[in-house]
Structure 1
Protein backbone atom coordinates (compact mmCIF):
# COMPACT_ATOMS: atom_id res chain seq x y z
CA UNK A 1 0.00 0.00 0.00
CA UNK A 2 2.80 2.41 0.90
CA UNK A 3 4.61 1.65 -2.37
CA UNK A 4 1.58 2.75 -4.47
CA UNK A 5 1.26 6.04 -2.57
CA UNK A 6 4.97 6.78 -3.00
CA UNK A 7 4.78 6.02 -6.73
CA UNK A 8 1.79 8.33 -7.35
CA UNK A 9 3.22 11.19 -5.28
CA UNK A 10 6.65 10.93 -6.91
CA UNK A 11 7.12 14.00 -9.19
CA UNK A 12 9.22 11.90 -11.60
CA UNK A 13 6.25 9.56 -12.10
CA UNK A 14 3.88 12.50 -12.76
CA UNK A 15 6.32 13.97 -15.30
CA UNK A 16 6.65 10.63 -17.06
CA UNK A 17 2.85 10.24 -17.22
CA UNK A 18 2.46 13.75 -18.64
CA UNK A 19 5.17 13.08 -21.24
CA UNK A 20 3.42 9.85 -22.27
CA UNK A 21 0.07 11.62 -22.72
CA UNK A 22 1.67 14.44 -24.74
CA UNK A 23 3.52 11.91 -26.91
CA UNK A 24 0.29 10.04 -27.66
CA UNK A 25 -1.43 13.32 -28.53
CA UNK A 26 1.45 14.26 -30.82
CA UNK A 27 1.38 10.93 -32.60
CA UNK A 28 -2.35 11.20 -33.16
CA UNK A 29 -3.05 8.02 -31.24
CA UNK A 30 -5.60 9.60 -28.93
CA UNK A 31 -9.19 9.06 -29.95
CA UNK A 32 -11.29 11.93 -31.32
CA UNK A 33 -14.02 13.49 -29.16
CA UNK A 34 -17.05 11.37 -28.25
CA UNK A 35 -19.30 12.73 -31.02
CA UNK A 36 -16.59 12.41 -33.65
CA UNK A 37 -15.65 8.97 -32.39
CA UNK A 38 -19.27 7.84 -32.71
CA UNK A 39 -19.43 9.19 -36.29
CA UNK A 40 -16.03 7.64 -37.10
CA UNK A 41 -17.17 4.23 -35.82
CA UNK A 42 -20.38 4.54 -37.85
CA UNK A 43 -18.33 5.41 -40.96
CA UNK A 44 -16.21 2.28 -40.42
CA UNK A 45 -19.28 0.08 -39.90
CA UNK A 46 -21.06 1.37 -42.99
CA UNK A 47 -18.18 1.85 -45.42
CA UNK A 48 -14.97 -0.02 -44.58
CA UNK A 49 -14.20 -3.63 -45.53
CA UNK A 50 -10.47 -4.08 -46.12
CA UNK A 51 -10.69 -7.90 -46.32
CA UNK A 52 -12.27 -7.87 -49.78
CA UNK A 53 -11.06 -6.37 -53.06
CA UNK A 54 -14.47 -6.22 -54.75
CA UNK A 55 -17.90 -7.69 -54.27
CA UNK A 56 -20.75 -9.20 -56.26
CA UNK A 57 -24.53 -8.98 -55.68
CA UNK A 58 -24.42 -11.61 -52.94
CA UNK A 59 -21.63 -9.68 -51.18
CA UNK A 60 -23.85 -6.60 -51.07
CA UNK A 61 -26.89 -8.55 -49.86
CA UNK A 62 -24.91 -10.14 -47.02
CA UNK A 63 -22.84 -7.10 -46.01
CA UNK A 64 -25.73 -4.64 -46.00
CA UNK A 65 -27.63 -6.94 -43.64
CA UNK A 66 -24.56 -7.81 -41.53
CA UNK A 67 -23.66 -4.13 -41.13
CA UNK A 68 -27.26 -3.35 -40.03
CA UNK A 69 -28.36 -1.20 -42.97
CA UNK A 70 -31.49 -3.22 -43.72
CA UNK A 71 -33.12 -3.53 -40.28
CA UNK A 72 -35.97 -1.01 -40.59
CA UNK A 73 -35.73 0.02 -44.23
CA UNK A 74 -33.52 -0.81 -47.16
CA UNK A 75 -30.69 1.69 -47.51
CA UNK A 76 -30.94 2.60 -51.18
CA UNK A 77 -27.22 3.02 -51.90
CA UNK A 78 -24.01 2.30 -50.02
CA UNK A 79 -20.32 2.12 -50.87
CA UNK A 80 -17.84 -0.24 -49.21
CA UNK A 81 -14.19 0.84 -49.39
CA UNK A 82 -11.72 -2.03 -49.71
CA UNK A 83 -8.67 -0.34 -48.19
CA UNK A 84 -6.94 -0.42 -44.83
CA UNK A 85 -8.39 2.18 -42.42
CA UNK A 86 -5.00 3.94 -42.29
CA UNK A 87 -5.08 4.40 -46.10
CA UNK A 88 -8.60 5.80 -45.82
CA UNK A 89 -7.59 8.09 -42.95
CA UNK A 90 -4.70 9.40 -45.07
CA UNK A 91 -7.29 10.85 -47.49
CA UNK A 92 -8.17 13.29 -44.68
CA UNK A 93 -4.71 14.88 -45.09
CA UNK A 94 -5.33 15.85 -48.73
CA UNK A 95 -6.50 19.31 -49.78
CA UNK A 96 -9.96 20.34 -48.55
CA UNK A 97 -12.71 20.45 -51.15
CA UNK A 98 -16.38 21.39 -50.98
CA UNK A 99 -18.85 18.73 -49.82
CA UNK A 100 -22.37 18.29 -51.25
CA UNK A 101 -23.70 20.23 -48.24
CA UNK A 102 -21.36 23.17 -49.10
CA UNK A 103 -19.09 22.52 -46.09
CA UNK A 104 -15.36 22.62 -46.81
CA UNK A 105 -14.26 19.58 -44.79
CA UNK A 106 -14.28 17.03 -47.64
CA UNK A 107 -11.26 15.33 -49.17
CA UNK A 108 -10.86 13.06 -52.18
CA UNK A 109 -8.84 9.99 -53.00
CA UNK A 110 -8.85 6.97 -55.31
CA UNK A 111 -9.70 3.63 -53.69
CA UNK A 112 -11.10 0.16 -54.46
CA UNK A 113 -14.84 0.06 -53.78
CA UNK A 114 -18.02 -1.93 -54.14
CA UNK A 115 -21.12 0.17 -54.73
CA UNK A 116 -24.35 -1.52 -53.59
CA UNK A 117 -27.59 -0.23 -55.14
CA UNK A 118 -30.94 -1.51 -53.90
CA UNK A 119 -33.09 -3.42 -56.39
CA UNK A 120 -36.64 -2.02 -56.30
CA UNK A 121 -39.41 -3.72 -54.32
CA UNK A 122 -37.15 -5.51 -51.85
CA UNK A 123 -38.34 -5.54 -48.23
CA UNK A 124 -36.38 -5.26 -44.97
CA UNK A 125 -34.59 -7.08 -43.55
CA UNK A 126 -34.13 -9.10 -46.78
CA UNK A 127 -33.16 -6.20 -49.02
CA UNK A 128 -31.61 -7.08 -52.38
CA UNK A 129 -28.74 -5.22 -54.03
CA UNK A 130 -26.90 -4.97 -57.32
CA UNK A 131 -23.10 -4.68 -56.92
CA UNK A 132 -20.56 -2.75 -58.96
CA UNK A 133 -16.89 -3.19 -58.03
CA UNK A 134 -14.35 -0.63 -59.27
CA UNK A 135 -11.42 1.58 -58.42
CA UNK A 136 -12.65 5.16 -58.37
CA UNK A 137 -12.45 8.60 -56.83
CA UNK A 138 -14.36 9.00 -53.57
CA UNK A 139 -15.07 12.08 -51.45
CA UNK A 140 -15.21 11.78 -47.67
CA UNK A 141 -15.83 14.35 -44.93
CA UNK A 142 -13.30 14.43 -42.10
CA UNK A 143 -13.39 16.04 -38.66
CA UNK A 144 -11.39 16.17 -35.46
CA UNK A 145 -7.80 16.46 -34.42
CA UNK A 146 -6.40 14.27 -35.78
CA UNK A 147 -8.87 14.34 -38.64
CA UNK A 148 -10.77 11.09 -39.18
CA UNK A 149 -13.41 10.16 -41.78
CA UNK A 150 -16.95 10.73 -40.49
CA UNK A 151 -19.12 10.79 -43.64
CA UNK A 152 -19.06 9.28 -47.13
CA UNK A 153 -20.01 12.20 -49.38
CA UNK A 154 -19.76 10.68 -52.88
Structure 2
Protein backbone atom coordinates (compact mmCIF):
# COMPACT_ATOMS: atom_id res chain seq x y z
CA UNK A 1 0.00 0.00 0.00
CA UNK A 2 2.86 2.37 0.88
CA UNK A 3 4.51 1.72 -2.51
CA UNK A 4 1.23 2.54 -4.27
CA UNK A 5 0.97 5.85 -2.38
CA UNK A 6 4.54 6.77 -3.37
CA UNK A 7 3.86 5.94 -7.02
CA UNK A 8 0.60 7.91 -6.88
CA UNK A 9 2.38 10.92 -5.33
CA UNK A 10 5.17 10.75 -7.90
CA UNK A 11 2.66 10.50 -10.74
CA UNK A 12 0.77 13.56 -9.49
CA UNK A 13 4.01 15.52 -9.25
CA UNK A 14 5.05 14.50 -12.78
CA UNK A 15 1.63 15.43 -14.19
CA UNK A 16 1.71 18.82 -12.47
CA UNK A 17 5.23 19.54 -13.77
CA UNK A 18 4.28 18.34 -17.26
CA UNK A 19 1.27 20.64 -17.18
CA UNK A 20 3.47 23.59 -16.25
CA UNK A 21 5.84 22.83 -19.14
CA UNK A 22 3.05 22.38 -21.70
CA UNK A 23 0.89 25.28 -20.52
CA UNK A 24 3.76 27.82 -20.29
CA UNK A 25 2.06 30.36 -18.04
CA UNK A 26 3.59 33.82 -17.68
CA UNK A 27 6.10 34.30 -14.87
CA UNK A 28 3.62 36.16 -12.63
CA UNK A 29 0.83 33.73 -13.36
CA UNK A 30 3.14 30.77 -12.72
CA UNK A 31 4.23 32.26 -9.37
CA UNK A 32 0.61 32.81 -8.30
CA UNK A 33 -0.37 29.31 -9.48
CA UNK A 34 2.54 27.78 -7.52
CA UNK A 35 1.50 29.75 -4.43
CA UNK A 36 -2.10 28.53 -4.86
CA UNK A 37 -0.85 24.92 -5.07
CA UNK A 38 1.33 25.32 -1.96
CA UNK A 39 -1.35 26.98 0.15
CA UNK A 40 -4.51 25.20 -0.96
CA UNK A 41 -4.02 21.87 -2.76
CA UNK A 42 -3.57 18.51 -1.00
CA UNK A 43 -4.98 15.82 -3.30
CA UNK A 44 -3.86 12.85 -1.18
CA UNK A 45 -4.91 14.27 2.17
CA UNK A 46 -8.14 13.31 3.82
CA UNK A 47 -7.90 16.15 6.33
CA UNK A 48 -10.41 15.95 9.09
CA UNK A 49 -8.64 16.65 12.34
CA UNK A 50 -6.80 19.42 14.16
CA UNK A 51 -3.48 17.56 13.91
CA UNK A 52 -3.76 17.60 10.11
CA UNK A 53 -4.20 21.38 10.11
CA UNK A 54 -1.38 21.97 12.60
CA UNK A 55 1.03 19.86 10.53
CA UNK A 56 0.00 21.10 7.06
CA UNK A 57 -0.02 24.77 8.00
CA UNK A 58 3.52 24.41 9.29
CA UNK A 59 4.73 22.26 6.37
CA UNK A 60 3.29 24.68 3.83
CA UNK A 61 5.06 27.63 5.53
CA UNK A 62 1.99 29.53 6.75
CA UNK A 63 3.10 29.77 10.39
CA UNK A 64 6.63 31.18 10.11
CA UNK A 65 6.22 34.87 11.01
CA UNK A 66 2.61 34.87 12.14
CA UNK A 67 -0.29 32.46 12.30
CA UNK A 68 -2.43 32.58 9.17
CA UNK A 69 -5.92 32.88 10.65
CA UNK A 70 -7.85 30.77 8.12
CA UNK A 71 -6.76 28.50 5.29
CA UNK A 72 -8.57 25.94 3.14
CA UNK A 73 -7.00 22.80 1.70
CA UNK A 74 -8.73 21.29 -1.34
CA UNK A 75 -8.63 17.48 -1.50
CA UNK A 76 -8.94 17.10 -5.27
CA UNK A 77 -6.36 16.64 -8.00
CA UNK A 78 -5.26 19.71 -9.92
CA UNK A 79 -7.20 18.63 -13.02
CA UNK A 80 -10.50 18.75 -11.11
CA UNK A 81 -9.59 22.09 -9.56
CA UNK A 82 -8.61 23.52 -12.96
CA UNK A 83 -11.96 22.44 -14.37
CA UNK A 84 -13.60 24.95 -12.00
CA UNK A 85 -11.88 27.68 -14.04
CA UNK A 86 -14.04 26.71 -17.03
CA UNK A 87 -17.32 27.41 -15.20
CA UNK A 88 -19.22 30.68 -15.55
CA UNK A 89 -17.43 33.79 -14.26
CA UNK A 90 -18.79 35.30 -11.06
CA UNK A 91 -17.64 38.36 -9.08
CA UNK A 92 -14.79 37.91 -6.62
CA UNK A 93 -14.79 39.57 -3.20
CA UNK A 94 -12.60 42.33 -4.68
CA UNK A 95 -15.13 42.98 -7.48
CA UNK A 96 -13.09 41.47 -10.33
CA UNK A 97 -14.97 39.08 -12.60
CA UNK A 98 -12.39 36.29 -12.77
CA UNK A 99 -13.85 34.02 -10.07
CA UNK A 100 -15.50 30.64 -10.59
CA UNK A 101 -17.30 28.28 -8.25
CA UNK A 102 -17.44 24.55 -7.78
CA UNK A 103 -18.04 21.90 -5.13
CA UNK A 104 -14.99 20.07 -3.78
CA UNK A 105 -13.91 18.23 -0.63
CA UNK A 106 -12.04 20.62 1.66
CA UNK A 107 -10.53 20.99 5.08
CA UNK A 108 -10.90 24.45 6.60
CA UNK A 109 -8.21 25.27 9.17
CA UNK A 110 -9.03 28.06 11.65
CA UNK A 111 -6.43 29.36 14.08
CA UNK A 112 -7.58 28.89 17.68
CA UNK A 113 -6.55 32.41 18.73
CA UNK A 114 -4.50 31.18 21.65
CA UNK A 115 -1.26 30.31 19.86
CA UNK A 116 1.81 32.19 18.68
CA UNK A 117 3.99 31.66 15.59
CA UNK A 118 5.65 29.41 14.74
CA UNK A 119 3.66 27.07 17.05
CA UNK A 120 0.24 27.94 15.66
CA UNK A 121 -2.73 25.73 16.59
CA UNK A 122 -5.75 25.11 14.36
CA UNK A 123 -9.24 23.62 14.44
CA UNK A 124 -10.24 21.53 11.42
CA UNK A 125 -13.55 21.19 9.64
CA UNK A 126 -13.78 18.78 6.68
CA UNK A 127 -16.67 18.66 4.25
CA UNK A 128 -17.60 18.83 0.61
CA UNK A 129 -18.66 22.42 -0.03
CA UNK A 130 -18.90 25.21 -2.58
CA UNK A 131 -15.68 27.14 -3.10
CA UNK A 132 -14.86 30.21 -5.16
CA UNK A 133 -11.46 30.52 -6.81
CA UNK A 134 -9.94 33.21 -9.02
CA UNK A 135 -8.39 32.07 -12.29
CA UNK A 136 -6.11 33.97 -14.68
CA UNK A 137 -4.21 33.46 -17.92
CA UNK A 138 -4.70 31.57 -21.11
CA UNK A 139 -5.34 28.79 -20.43
CA UNK A 140 -6.85 29.79 -17.14
CA UNK A 141 -5.14 28.51 -13.99
CA UNK A 142 -6.31 28.86 -10.37
CA UNK A 143 -4.34 31.67 -8.72
CA UNK A 144 -6.35 32.68 -5.62
CA UNK A 145 -8.73 31.07 -3.12
CA UNK A 146 -11.50 33.65 -2.76
CA UNK A 147 -13.96 31.92 -0.44
Matched, 1:127 2:112: no
Quote how far apart the aligned CAs of 1:53 are. 2.6
CA distance in 1, matches of 2:37, 2:28: 14
Cα displacement string for residues 60-111 of structure 1 (whole angstroms, at most 9, x for unaligned residues): 0000000000000000000000000010001000000000000000000000
CA distance in 2, matches of 1:62, 1:80: 12
- Structure 1 segments of 4 or more deviating over 6 A? none
* Structure 1, unaligned runs of 5 or more: 1-27
2:138 paired residue number? 145
Cα displacement string for residues 9-32 of structure 1 (whole angstroms, at most 9, x for unaligned residues): xxxxxxxxxxxxxxxxxxx93221
Matched, 1:115 2:108: yes
Matched, 1:45 2:38: yes
CA distance in 2, matches of 1:53, 1:141: 24
Structure with max Cα Rg: 1
CA distance in 2, matches of 1:121, 1:40: 31
What secondary structure does 2:48 align onto?
coil
Contact 1:92 1:148 in 2 (8 A): yes
Contact 2:112 2:122 in 1 (8 A): yes
Match of 2:69 among 51, 76, 101: 76
How many residue pairs get aligned? The number is 127
Quote how far apart the aligned CAs of 1:52 are. 1.5
What secondary structure does 2:134 align onto?
strand
2:93 paired residue number? 100
CA RMSD of superposed structures (Å) = 1.0
1:31 paired residue number? 24
What secondary structure does 2:93 align onto?
coil
CA distance in 2, matches of 1:40, 1:119: 28
